[in-house]
Structure 1
């Protein structure tokens, strides 16, 4: 008889983990959201507002129903500085995850990255660090593409408490739905509820098990500040390389320019611009495109799109391979933020007494803001040999928004003095409780977290299935 794995959350991590565990486990998946945006579980910002809405997903597939996830590996330097093991530990799972999420071999994309870097150099761009970001042509709802319907047992409801046995192991989870509660038993339990929800569950467990590692639940929060910072006019035909189609695939490759400031990585995408020196900027990063992906039959979205010519350039190149000549580009910043040891994610009772509200405190320190300003100057200096004109938007920092890459709040660490989970993703001090979502990631540099979450899920499935996981 197979052991029973109870997975909390049907987002990217939960779906990949459930899929990978089916060979060795009976899988029960608990999902509290009835739809991709479930108003029953709000998140309140007491720091900077997210602006990007929604910035987390619910329901079967989680945020993979919302976002067209770009696939990018976290830089080896970030692993060396912040992770409990080197990048080589995750490399075989990166390869498996890349194929699973895109249908394309990672080796092919790595080869295309080097070829594209050479083409940039041939245009006269100075040598510099560029990191490959691959977009499959079509977004994927992982619940659907992995075919999980009917293969796993789904329990709808919200986990409200842990049943802890006398030996300190988790014996079951208490799940509430529609005013009633049930106890879900299992042999192993994995929290995949996301960087904003998993730490709140762990804080509930801390009330029952005062373990040192659980003191870090909700702390060390990281999200990428994103925003348009300026625009440039270049003297070379960079537009030919925007949304570069990887040979033999239907996906596109971009090479963000990466600047390093005091150990932090900050990336800049050069996005073709239809209007130059315009008085106003886009209302929101990718706002129109994301709404079109989710609801392509709403004519109002197409009317809005006509006011966003930069997005039209993006669609023409991304979907149809049509690269209209332009020498004008906006600079889109995505920055690695420093983390802090104080809690940034927690919960409080709702004002009406019906459930809880998640709370997020996103804070960018004055010192970090100065580093971002310096990084903008650095990238403009780096581009100077191929730039005819440039300007920085006044007040661009006021327009920064969440990248929805909530991570670090239950991070991997070699010791419970530094994080929630051990190097195998097990909660320090609890024999059968694991975490597998963005909250597990100790640092991501400038990388979207989706590919890494999938790789961590495959690694954990190998561990729980008794396959050899290389020791750090």
Structure 2
């Protein structure tokens, strides 16, 4: 008899987990959302506003229905400083995950990164850290691309409680839908409800099992601050390289420039600017590319493009490989955020009776000082190939969330510093695991999607090695 795996959440982590476990486990997937943007489960910001909308996903496929999911590995230095194991532990799973998310091999992209770094040096850019960020030409809804429909049991509903067994493990979940409750039993339980969802479920568990590790649920929150910080006019034909088509693939490679300040990594993408002098327009540029990538047949998105000529340059390069010669670029910051062991994610009941997730995101003064210093550093780095540059006034006021919610059920070597052990198991609970962005103790400047998929494959490999359960199932 196959062990029964109950996965909570049908987003990136849940879909990859289900795909990887189907051969060895009976898989049940619990999903509460009816569509990609489900208004029944809102997020309320009590700190800085997210601005990026939507910044959570629901339904089958989760945020893979919404975002294009640039693929980038977390830097080895970030693993050494923040993770309970080295990057080499995750490397084989990065290699397995990459083609699942892009239909391209990681080895091919790594080779292209090395080649593109050489081309940048040949243009006269100084040596420095340039991390490879690969965009497949078309986004993938993982529920569809992994062909999960009909291969597993899907239960609709919201997990509202946990039932414990005498040994201290999870016996079942209480799932509510339409006012009706049911118990869902299993042998192993896997939370993949996202960086804003899994910590709230763990807080519910803490009401029944006040374990030391669960004090960290909802704390150590990390989300990349993003925003346009300035513009440069370069003296070299960078337009040939900024959005580089990887040979043998239909995807594009970009090399964010990464500087370090006070232990934080801060990256800068160079995006072509249609007109260097349109300052008032450039300081509040709005991108519709994600909308267009998700729904290329909606004519309204093309109308919006004409309000933002810089996006036209971007899409001509991204979709059609057309690189118009420009020497004007804006700098898009994506920064590592310092984390703290304070509660940042929780739930509350509104007067209407509706339950909401609450998110407290804030950026301290030291981070703002470091970010300003990083802008100076990257302009100094680019100086050998720059004719002139300008920093936007008030750019820090426009920083927004990147929707890379992580750290809220973080991996740690012990229960005193995090929620999950290096095998992704909740400290102190025999058969409860987490597998989504909440696991990631730090991502540096990397989008989290590729790392979530790699962690899911690593966890699936661990579970396949476990002995089959011997306890009876109701």
When normalised by structure 1's length, the TM-score is 0.97
Q: Is the 8 A contact 1:242 1:317 kept in 2?
A: no
What are the ranges of 5 or more consecutive residues in structure 1 without an aligned counterpart?
none
Partner of 1:415: 414
The Cα of 1:368 is off from its aligned counterpart by 0.5
Partner of 2:390: 391
Task: Could you list the structure 1 runs, at least 4 aligned residues long, displaced by more than 6 angstroms after superposition.
Answer: none
Q: Is the 8 A contact 2:283 2:392 kept in 1?
A: no
The Cα of 1:350 is off from its aligned counterpart by 2.2
Partner of 1:302: 302
Q: What is the CA–CA distance in structure 2 between the aligned matches of 1:160 and 1:281, rounded to whole Å?
A: 46
The Cα of 1:291 is off from its aligned counterpart by 1.7
Partner of 2:293: 293
Partner of 2:427: 428
The Cα of 1:281 is off from its aligned counterpart by 2.7
Partner of 1:437: 436
> Cα 1:140–1:358, aligned 2, differ >3 Å: closer, same or farther?
same
The Cα of 1:294 is off from its aligned counterpart by 3.0
When normalised by structure 2's length, the TM-score is 0.97
Cα deviation 1:236-291 (Å, max 9, x = unaligned): 000000210111111110000000001100000010111213212375653x1122
Q: What is the CA–CA distance in structure 2 between the aligned matches of 1:291 and 1:112, rounded to whole Å?
A: 28
Q: How does 1:78-97 map to 2 (within 5 A)?
A: 78-97=78-97
Q: Is the 8 A contact 2:285 2:308 kept in 1?
A: no
The Cα of 1:296 is off from its aligned counterpart by 3.0
Q: What is the CA–CA distance in structure 1 between the aligned matches of 2:158 and 2:142, rounded to whole Å?
A: 21
Q: Which moved more, 1:266-275 or 1:161-170?
A: 161-170
The Cα of 1:301 is off from its aligned counterpart by 1.8
Partner of 1:109: 109
Q: What is the CA–CA distance in structure 2 between the aligned matches of 1:75 and 1:28, rounded to whole Å?
A: 34
Q: Which moved more, 1:161-170 or 1:3-12?
A: 161-170
The Cα of 1:105 is off from its aligned counterpart by 1.1
Is 1:45 the counterpart of 2:50 in the alignment? no
Q: Is the 8 A contact 1:336 1:446 kept in 2?
A: yes
Q: What is the CA–CA distance in structure 2 between the aligned matches of 1:190 and 1:117, rounded to whole Å?
A: 40
Secondary structure of 1:97's aligned partner: helix
Cα deviation 1:33-87 (Å, max 9, x = unaligned): 0000101100000000000000110000000000001110000000000000000
> Cα 1:67–1:285, aligned 2, differ >3 Å: closer, same or farther?
farther
Q: What is the CA–CA distance in structure 2 between the aligned matches of 1:365 and 1:246, rounded to whole Å?
A: 39
Partner of 1:280: 281
Is 1:458 the counterpart of 2:454 in the alignment? no
> Cα 1:158–1:229, aligned 2, differ >3 Å: closer, same or farther?
same
The Cα of 1:361 is off from its aligned counterpart by 0.2
Q: What is the CA–CA distance in structure 2 between the aligned matches of 1:249 and 1:167, rounded to whole Å?
A: 51
Q: How does 1:43-442 map to 2 (within 5 A)?
A: 43-278=43-278, 279-281=280-282, 283=284, 286=287, 288-354=288-354, 356-442=355-441
Q: What is the CA–CA distance in structure 2 between the aligned matches of 1:296 and 1:234, rounded to whole Å?
A: 32
Cα deviation 1:310-340 (Å, max 9, x = unaligned): 1111111111111000000000000001000
Q: What is the CA–CA distance in structure 2 between the aligned matches of 1:395 and 1:425, rounded to whole Å?
A: 41
Q: What is the CA–CA distance in structure 2 between the aligned matches of 1:239 and 1:293, rounded to whole Å?
A: 22
Q: Is the 8 A contact 1:282 1:308 kept in 2?
A: no
Q: Is the 8 A contact 2:68 2:294 kept in 1?
A: no
Cα deviation 1:109-128 (Å, max 9, x = unaligned): 11110100000000000111
Q: Is the 8 A contact 1:52 1:284 kept in 2?
A: no
> Cα 1:60–1:192, aligned 2, differ >3 Å: closer, same or farther?
same
Partner of 1:448: 447
> What is the count of residue pairs matched by the alignment?
466
Secondary structure of 1:59's aligned partner: coil
> Cα 1:284–1:19, aligned 2, differ >3 Å: closer, same or farther?
farther
Partner of 2:472: none
Q: Is the 8 A contact 1:134 1:254 kept in 2?
A: yes
Tell me the C-alpha RMSD between the 2 structures: 1.1
Q: Which moved more, 1:291-300 or 1:101-110?
A: 291-300
Q: What is the CA–CA distance in structure 2 between the aligned matches of 1:194 and 1:63, rounded to whole Å?
A: 10
Q: What is the CA–CA distance in structure 2 between the aligned matches of 1:295 and 1:382, rounded to whole Å?
A: 38
Q: Is the 8 A contact 2:283 2:395 kept in 1?
A: no
Q: Is the 8 A contact 1:90 1:455 kept in 2?
A: yes
